[in-house]
Structure 1
Amino acid sequence: MTLHAVPPEGYRILREGDLRDYLAGIPAAATRLGGPPEGWSISEVGDGNLNLVFIVKGASGGLAVKQALPYVRLVGESWPLPLSRSHYEYLALTNQAKLAADLVPAVLHHDERLALVAMELLEPHIIMRKGLVAGTTYPAFVDHITTFIARMLFFSSDLALPAAQKKEAIAAFAGNHALCKITEDLIFTDPYRVAEQNRWTVPWLDATAAKFRDDLELHVAISRLKLKFLSSAEALLHGDLHTGSIMVTARETRVIDPEFAFYGPMGFDIGAIIANLLMAYLASSGHEREPGARRVFEAWVLETVEQVWGEFARKFLELWRGEAAGDAYPLSLFSGEAGAARLEAERQAYMARLFQDTVGFTAAKIIRRILGLAHNIDFELIEDPKMRATCEARSLRLARALMVDTASFTTIGAVTNAARTARDWQPEF
C-alpha cells in the first residue's frame, strides 16, 4: 500500500453527477439501487470533519458512499491529509465484519484510487449523538456495543493471536500515522497549550482554559496517556469511537467510520464511549424545556455508563477464559488448580489496570471536545451560551478529577458518582 501525500493519478472529487455515472458502472451498486440511474436520488450529507458522504437511493434500495478528501474538510486545503485513510477504513471494516458482522455496515465496493467506499445504507438508523441530544434511550445499546468492543479488542490482542500474526496485523495498520497524528495533537496536546485552532465558549470558559494551560499536574497526566497511546499496541482500535460514529434504532446498533483504526491501548476505545455518554449526561440539563424534565433520561445514561464497563469486562474475561490462543499468558505455565486460580487473579488485575487506562482516556476525550478544535452537538446545540458553558465547565471539572486522580477511581460506580456531583455543581462566571 503506497501512502499518498498528494492525490494519486486518477483521483478526483466526485460530485453528484459524477457519482451517478460511477455507480452505474459498478454492478453490485447498480443492482442494489435498482431502476435507471437517472432516477436515483443523490444527496451529500457529510457533517463530519474529514470526508464527503453521499446517500444514494434507487427503486429497490440505497447506498451510503464515503469519499476521502485530500485535506481535512473541517479546516480546508490548508490542512492536507493522505487519502490512504480510506484504505485503512476499508481494512478495519473487513476486520470488524469477520468478528461482529451484524454490528457494522456491509461493504459493497471499495475503490482505492478514488479513496471511496460504498456500503449499505442504514435506515431508519440515526446518529446516536442526535438521539441522545433529543433525550432518547436505546435499550439494546449496551449489549451491542460491549459485544463489539470486547470481540474486537480481545481477538486482535496477544491474548488471542500468536505473536507473529499480531505483529503482521500491527504492520498492516502502521501506515495510518497521519490520522494518529491528528489524535496525538488534538486530544493529547493542543487543549493544554496555546493552539491556533482551539476554541471554547467565550468569555465564560476563558479562565478555565487558561488554568488548563498552566496546570502542570494535568500536563503530566495527559503526557502519560499520550505516551501510552504512542507506544502500547495492545489491540486493533476503532480509534474514533464516539456517539457520532454509532448509528442506532431501538433494536439495532451499527458502528461506522473506523478510518482512525490502528493498534493502540485498549482503554482508548472504551474511554471514548464512556466519555461521550458522560458528556451527553452533563449536557442534558442544557436541553431541558423545564427543570428536571430529563431526569429519567439522565438516570438511564449513567446506568448505561456503568453497564458499558461491566458488560465489556464480563464479555472480555469470558473470551479470555474460553478462547485464548495467543502467546501471552501461556496455559502451560498455569497448570493445576493453583495455577488456574493464580491466572484468574492475574486476569482480574489486568482488568483493573485496563479500567485505570479507561478512566484516563475518558477524561482526555471530554477535555478535547470542549477546549480543542472539534466539538460535538451535545454542547453546541445548547442555545443559551452561558448555560452551555455551565454544562461544559461541569464536564471539565469531572474530567480533570478523572485524569489527575485516576487512582482514586477504582470502580465505574465511583465515576458515575463523580458525574452526579459535577451535575449539581454551579460554576462562578
Structure 2
Amino acid sequence: MAILEKKTYKGLTEETAIQLVKELELFPVHAELTAREIGDGNLNYVFRIASEENSVIIKQALPYAKVVGESWPLTLKRAKIEADALVKHGEYVPAFVPKVFRTDEDLAITIMEDLSHLKIARTGLIEGEYYPNLAKHIGQYLAKTLFHTSDFALHPFEKKRLASAFSNPELCKITEDLVFTDPFFNIDTNDYEPELQSDVEEIWNHTELKIAAAKIKQSFLTEAEALLHGDLHTGSIFASEEETKVIDPEFAFYGPIGFDVGQFFAHLVFQVIVRKGEDREIIVNQIDEVWQEFYSVFSELWKSKGVDPFTKVDGYREVFLAKVFDDAIGVVGCELIRRTIGLSHVKDLDGIEDSAVRLKAKRAALSLGTNLILKKASIKTIKQFITTIEEFTA
C-alpha cells in the first residue's frame, strides 16, 4: 500500500478525483475516465472512477458532518484509522475486506477496490434478498479479526502499540453519546414520532434500565480487548450470494469484543422485527449461524494460536466467550433503542410506509431492547437469545 506525497486538504470534486488517479497512474495514460459521486453517508465523499476496463473507489473524509454542517467538526484522522483498519483486518480476512491501493493522510483519502458489483446488505435484506453466506462469513470475520488483534494472539507490547495507534477518541465519543447515553435521557438530538412519547418517557424514567445501560457503556469505555470495526451494521457490508465485504471501519478502536458481535446481531434483529413467516425464520437462523461460526472459529484459533498461558487452562475459553456473549446481548439492547428513538435511525424500521405497522415495529424494538439490557445476565445461550427475540417480536 503506497502513501501519497504531502498535500494540503481540499475537498475533491469529480474533476479533481479524475486528475488525482491520473497523477497516481492507476489507469493507462490514454484511458477515458468517468467519475461519479456515489456516497449517501453523512461523513464522507465517495467517488467511483472508471474506465472501460477498470474502476476504483476514492473515499474522502469530510471535516464535518453533512447533516449538521461545519458547526459539528470531525477529525480527519479517521480516514487513516479506517485505511489502517482495512489493511490490518485484511491480514487475517483478505476475502472479506476491500483491497486498499493508496492512502493520503493529508487529503484524508483512501483509494480502494470497487465493490459496485455487490449490494449493500441492508438494502438487499430490506428488498427480501437472501445471502446464504452472510452469517458464516461475518462469523469468520468477527472471530479472526478479533482474536488475532487481542492479547490472546499478540505479545503485550504489540497489542499496546496497536491500541495506541488506533486511539480514536472523537469517533468513540459519537458512539458513547449516540448509542449508550442520549437515548436514555431527554436530549435534543433524539428523534422519534410523537406517538412514541410515552414509550420514550418510560425509558427516560427507568432508573434500573439506565444503571444497566451505564454498565454496558463502562465496558465500552474501558475494555480494550481487540481491534473492533466499531460500526458493524448491515449498511457497512457489501454482499451477494457468494461474496461478503466489510467496509467503513472509520470507528475502529480497541474495545470489548462483544461490541462488534452485538452490533451485527442487532441489525439482523431489525430484520426479524419487520419480516413474517419463512422470511423471518431465515434471519433467525442467520443469528444462530453467525454465533455458532464465531464461537467455533474463535475457539479453534484459541487452541492453535493462543500465546497467553491462560489459553491452555481448561474452562477459561468458555468463561471468556460467555463474557463476550453477555456483552453482545447488552449492546443489542442499546442499539435497538438508539436506532429507534436516537439521532441515527435504520431504514429497516423508518422505511415502513404504514404508520401503524411502523409504530408497532418500533415499540417491539424498544420493548425488546429494554428487556435485553435488563435481563442479559439470564440469557446464557444463543437459543435463549432467539427465544427472547421471538417473544417480543411475534
Using structure 2 for the length normalisation, give the TM-score.
Answer: 0.96
1:219 to 210, 220, 235: 210
The question of whether the paired residues in 1 share the 8 Å contact of 2:310 and 2:316 is answered with no
Aligned to 1:186: 178
Q: Percent identity?
A: 38
CA–CA separation in structure 2 for the residues paired with 1:389 and 1:319: 43
Larger radius of gyration: 1
In the TM superposition, residue 384 of structure 1 has moved relative to its aligned partner by 1.7
- The answer to whether 1:362 aligns with 2:354 is no
In the TM superposition, residue 251 of structure 1 has moved relative to its aligned partner by 0.4
Q: Residue type of the partner of 2:228?
A: L
In the TM superposition, residue 35 of structure 1 has moved relative to its aligned partner by 4.9
- The answer to whether 1:388 aligns with 2:358 is yes
**Residues 154-192 of structure 1, C-alpha deviations (whole Å, 9 max, x = no match):** 011111111111111111112x11000000011110001
CA–CA separation in structure 2 for the residues paired with 1:101 and 1:397: 39
After superposition, where does 1:38-49 map in structure 2 within 5 Å?
39-49=32-42
**Residues 116-175 of structure 1, C-alpha deviations (whole Å, 9 max, x = no match):** 01111113200000011011111111221111110011011111111111111111112x
**Residues 293-347 of structure 1, C-alpha deviations (whole Å, 9 max, x = no match):** x42211000000011111101110110011112x35164xxxxxxxxxxx23221
Aligned to 1:168: 161
After superposition, where does 1:56-205 map in structure 2 within 5 Å?
56-174=49-167, 176-200=168-192, 202-205=193-196
Aligned to 2:27: 30
Partner secondary structure for residue 198 of structure 1: coil
The question of whether the paired residues in 2 share the 8 Å contact of 1:35 and 1:60 is answered with no
Aligned to 2:252: 261
Aligned to 1:329: 310
In the TM superposition, residue 88 of structure 1 has moved relative to its aligned partner by 0.3
CA–CA separation in structure 1 for the residues paired with 2:34 and 2:277: 41
Q: Residue type of the partner of 1:100?
A: V
The question of whether the paired residues in 2 share the 8 Å contact of 1:68 and 1:85 is answered with yes
The question of whether the paired residues in 2 share the 8 Å contact of 1:136 and 1:297 is answered with no
Aligned to 2:231: 240
Partner secondary structure for residue 362 of structure 1: helix
CA RMSD of aligned residues (A): 1.4
The question of whether the paired residues in 1 share the 8 Å contact of 2:7 and 2:107 is answered with no
Aligned to 1:21: 19
The question of whether the paired residues in 1 share the 8 Å contact of 2:152 and 2:311 is answered with no
In structure 1, the gaps of 5 or more residues are 1-7, 285-293, 332-342, 425-429
CA–CA separation in structure 2 for the residues paired with 1:157 and 1:98: 14
Consecutive aligned runs of 4 or more in structure 1 exceeding 6 Å deviation? none
In structure 2, the gaps of 5 or more residues are 1-5
CA–CA separation in structure 2 for the residues paired with 1:53 and 1:76: 18
CA–CA separation in structure 1 for the residues paired with 2:197 and 2:38: 33
CA–CA separation in structure 1 for the residues paired with 2:82 and 2:364: 34
Partner secondary structure for residue 99 of structure 1: coil
In the TM superposition, residue 367 of structure 1 has moved relative to its aligned partner by 1.2
Using structure 1 for the length normalisation, give the TM-score.
Answer: 0.88
